[in-house]
Structure 1
Amino acid sequence: MTVRSVVRRGVALVNLGVTALMDAPVVGRLVRRGMVEIRYTGRRSGQTFQTPVAYRRSGDQVVIGVSAPDLKTWWRNFGGDGGPITLLGLDGADRTGHAVSRRDERGAVTVTVTLDPPS
């Protein structure tokens, strides 16, 4: 078993725990203040993926800071001109938008989502 596969298993377990907390009756509302689950389609695979992420919001912009970006690949789907994304349960409803990832000179990665108007 490689280090990378161990890390991926660990991340999968943490994601399951976070998702469970987001759905919990008592603490879910508190957790969802700074966490949201995203859904996107992989550029190469065409598969649909979901993962919880921490976010900051200002109006119709949502910024997702990608911790340990070199260990993760999901954000690479939004390089260049970016692509479509869905934020599940944001404002009590699923919200779609356009996401673009950027890596700064220090190597930090952020994904900026411009939300579509509510339907």
Structure 2
Amino acid sequence: MQTKGWFPRRAVGRLNARVLALRSSPRWGRWASRYLTVVTYTGRRSGRTFSTPVVYRRTADVVRIRVRFPDSKTWWRNFLGTGGPISLHLDDADRSGHAVGHRDEHGRVTVTVRLDD
């Protein structure tokens, strides 16, 4: 994960590791999994596969991810325009879908994922 903002890369790695630990915790994992997931995608330019934890909201087969501090993150830019393929870990299984990113007039970024059947 590359960061261009105020948060050093090492700190981001530690934070992501703690989020993933919370998600797999026997005590808190069930609760955390309702709000946290891991997205996996392939970078458009690099062709490398990346995974990152995100907060999400799901309604049926549509998942919405509000990107916090979007100017300091780059992952969501892979889904601008026509979007691209993405995988999310939901309900103890990996689900694939098509993600499209959108920045509104206030600078807020939302990535909308339509899950495959």
Band the TM-score falls in, shorter-chain normalisation: over 0.9
Please tell me whether the aligned partners of residues 5 and 71 of structure 2 are also in contact (alpha carbons under 8 angstroms).
Answer: no
Q: Kindly, what percent of the aligned residue pairs are identical?
A: 57
Evaluate the alpha carbon distance shift between residue 106 and residue 6 of structure 1 in structure 2; reply closer, same or farther with a 3 A threshold. closer
Give ranges in structure 1 of 5+ residues lacking alignment. none
Evaluate the alpha carbon distance shift between residue 6 and residue 107 of structure 1 in structure 2; reply closer, same or farther with a 3 A threshold. closer
Distance in 2 of aligned mates of 1:58 and 1:4: 31
**Structure 1 residues 74-83 or 6-15, which shifts more?**
6-15
**Structure 1 residues 8-17 or 48-57, which shifts more?**
8-17
Give ranges in structure 2 of 5+ residues lacking alignment. none
The answer to whether structure 1 residue 114 and structure 2 residue 114 are counterparts is: yes
Counterparts of 1:33-52 in structure 2, within 5 Å, are 33-52=34-53
Moved over 3 A (4+): 3-6
What one-letter code is carried by the residue in structure 2 that aligns with 1:18? V
Residue of structure 2 in register with 1:58 after alignment: 59
Could you tell me the TM-score, scaled by structure 1's length? 0.91
SS in 1 for 2:51: strand
Residue of structure 2 in register with 1:96 after alignment: 96
Per-residue Cα deviation, 1:14-70 (whole angstroms, up to 9, x for no partner): 111000111111111111010000100000000000000000011110000000000
SS in 2 for 1:24: coil
Evaluate the alpha carbon distance shift between residue 35 and residue 6 of structure 1 in structure 2; reply closer, same or farther with a 3 A threshold. closer
Higher relative contact order at CA 8 Å, sep ≥6: structure 1 or structure 2? Answer: 2
SS in 1 for 2:8: helix
SS in 1 for 2:12: helix
Q: Give the superposed CA RMSD.
A: 1.4
Q: Which has the larger helix fraction?
A: 1
Matched residues, number: 114
Residue of structure 1 in register with 2:23 after alignment: 22
